[in-house]
Every structure is written in structure tokens, then in C-alpha cells.
Amino acid sequence: MQNINKIADYIIWLHHESGDVITNLRLQKLLYYAQAWYLVLNDEPLFKDDFEAWIHGPVMPSIYKRFKSYKWNPINEEIKKPKLSEKVEKHLDEIVRVFGKFSSLDLEYMTHREAPWVKARNGCMPDEVSSAQIDKEEMKSFYKSL
């Protein structure tokens, strides 16, 4: 399993290399889809950390806190390319290729319509705070069915 900070750094680095911007919200959703599809394709998690079902979709609290100061603005911190396996890099490249074309709000909307986040929220009102964990097995099962 990988370190969540290295995965986040790679996604940010990739955006910066291509001249694209990335916000904390967008990063959260790309991390979520990276984990979900890694579970489906490799039958194991990409990283051990668990997402929480926050108001704006799945969030990795440690990464949120790390980049919280940027608020809704692009993360402009200089990030060096982390050392990851070729397999993980290819996976993240594909996630950014497929999901990176969507805006942060589109990604939020998508996760709000998918069972893992909805089930973890367990009937919470749309603006109700929740720190419920999103189950990795639920993620794997849902995305495998697609």
C-alpha cells in the first residue's frame, strides 16, 4: 500500500506538469476515484486511509487539513514528483485522464449520486455535517458493478 501523501503529491504534480489547476475539492474526488478503481482492478486498497462522507462528497481528512489554507483556490504549492511504482503511476495517470476532465463541482455531483457516499451518509440532510467512514468493501462492490 502507498502513502496517501505521495498519492496526493503525484496527482498535484501531474496537474502542474500539464498546466492544469487543482483545488482541494478536486484533489479529494480524484483521490477517491483512484482508491475506488484500484480496489476494483487490483482487489486491494491503494492506501490504508479511509474517506469520510462529508457534505461536499468523500474527503480524506488528513489531505484536507494539509491543503485547507487554499480554501477554494488552486493548490499552488511546488510539489516534486514522488517515487511511486510504475503500476501506481499508470493507474493515477488513467484516473486523472478519465476524471480530470470534470470540474470539481461535477465530481462532487457524481459522488453524491453514488451508493458508497450515500450509504455512509445514512440519511443525513444535505447540509448536515458527517464524519462517517466510507466502507472500502462498499466502494469495491459498487464500482465493480459498473
First to last CA, the chain: 24
> Would you put residue 123 in left (φ > 0), alpha (ψ -120 to 50) or beta?
left
Instruction: Name the DSSP class of 46.
Output: S
d(CA 15, CA 97): 10
Q: Per-residue pLDDT for 95 more than 90?
A: yes
Q: What is the pLDDT of residues 35-84, one digit of tens each?
A: 999 999 999 999 999 999 999 999 999 999 999 999 999 999 999 999 99
pLDDT band with cut points at 50, 70 and 90 for residue 123? confident
pTM for this predicted structure: 0.97
What cell does 58 get?
468523500
